[in-house]
Structure 1
């Protein structure tokens, strides 16, 4: 996440990738207003170009490797 990004609510399971419809883990806030949502795959693919165009990127892909809170103790 960049320091310039205004605080926004975390992405949830209802947020979907604008390219493929998978769960979104990346939000690109465009310099001209508005935002785009991407899955981890499309976020990696487009983030560099979007940053170069002045977009701020909210990257929550680290959530993909978290252990769920409901996992049994032996899996934590």
Structure 2
């Protein structure tokens, strides 16, 4: 009897691209928040700055700041 397992590689969803820009300053966006049916894009700096207020009203929060180097 042989047991074979198939390990599926972890697939990271990076839906934000270099073309997506922060609505506050124009830098590359790494955070997307949906508020009142509209998508707001933020760089890591502005996303963190407004996170507390945005999370209270956002229907979704997509954070790709882990892509940034420490």
TM-score, scaled relative to structure 1: 0.68
Q: Alignment length, in residue pairs?
A: 58
Unmatched segments (≥5 aa) in structure 1: 1-7, 67-76
TM-score, scaled relative to structure 2: 0.74
Cα distance in 1 for partners of 2:50, 2:30 equals 13
Greater strand share, 1 or 2?
Answer: 2
- Structure 1 or 2, whichever has the larger Rg, is 2
**Worse overlay, 19-28 or 8-17:** 8-17
Name the residue aligned to 2:42. Answer: 38
Unmatched segments (≥5 aa) in structure 2: 1-12
Q: 1:26 aligns with which of 9, 18, 31?
A: 31
Q: Deviations over 1:18-47 (max 9, x none)?
A: 0000000000111x2011000000000111
